[in-house]
Amino acid sequence: MSPSDRQADTRLLMIRHAQASFGSDDYDRLSERGLRQAELLADWLAAQPELEFTHVVSGTQRRHRETLQALATAAAVAGQPLPIATADADWNEFDHESLLRGYAAHAAQDPDLVALRVGLDQARILAVISRAFQAWANGELDAFMPETLLSFRDRVRRARDRAEQAAGSGTALVISSGGVISRCAQALLALDEAETIRHNLSLANSGIVEFARENGRWQLRRWSYLPHLDSEAHRELRSFI
């Protein structure tokens, strides 16, 4: 990733975890595809000597830890070890299983719900997830969720504030999840709820997101950047669920 000609006061380089095991008995572990995504991302990051991190933090979920481990191992092999990482549960994803169960109870007649059980049609799965997000935003799923959307947004803000403070005038590397990263985008770029949901669903597994604060103003430099999956040989590894 080429450094900008302009100097940023603070940079947040956020990584959505590699693909987890959607539809399995343990969603939180990386899938075989996810492990390969993490490996390729790690090799790409380790080959960018201009990327120096003043702070590294991840959520505490297994998919975050496994993605971070791949990055740390590759960095060490390249002779560019990462700073000791901080684990911060405020970077954890919202409870997506409760969200989908709640939405299924709330909108039992949604014809796309079958896709969650069959797991064959990614477009239909994403359509259901989009409608579930909107129902949560409307307060219609609060009885099913361990936290309201407002409380989720508040803890993401706390996590982001801590990472920004720890980064100082440098760059923080954050390993988290799509819902969390999209809420950072919502706050920093003043996105409405529909745009926030759209950003969430467009963020690929192992995708890179870069925010930079310049002269007190936040800018989005990259969203769902996948340089490690650009080649013809690796493009089929891209995923969004």
- Closest C-alpha to 11, from 43, 51, 42: 51
| pTM for the whole structure | 0.90
Domains and CATH numbers, the chain: 10-93+163-237 (3.40.50.1240), 95-146 (no CATH)
Total Cβ atoms within 10 A of residue 192: 9
d(CA 193, CA 53): 31
Q: How far is CA 206 from CA 36, 109, 209, in A?
A: 10, 33, 10
CB 188 within 8 Å of CB 210: no
Q: Tens-digit pLDDT profile for the chain (241 aa)? A: 444 445 568 999 999 999 998 766 778 899 999 999 999 999 999 999 888 999 999 999 999 999 999 999 999 999 999 999 999 999 999 998 899 999 999 999 998 888 777 655 778 888 888 999 999 999 999 999 999 999 999 999 999 999 999 999 999 999 999 999 999 999 999 999 999 999 999 999 999 999 999 888 999 999 999 999 999 999 999 998 8
Total Cβ atoms within 10 A of residue 98: 15
Widest distance between CA atoms in the chain: 55
CB 183 within 8 Å of CB 153: yes
Radius of gyration of the chain (CA): 18
Q: How far is CA 123 from CA 115, 179, 241, in A?
A: 9, 18, 10
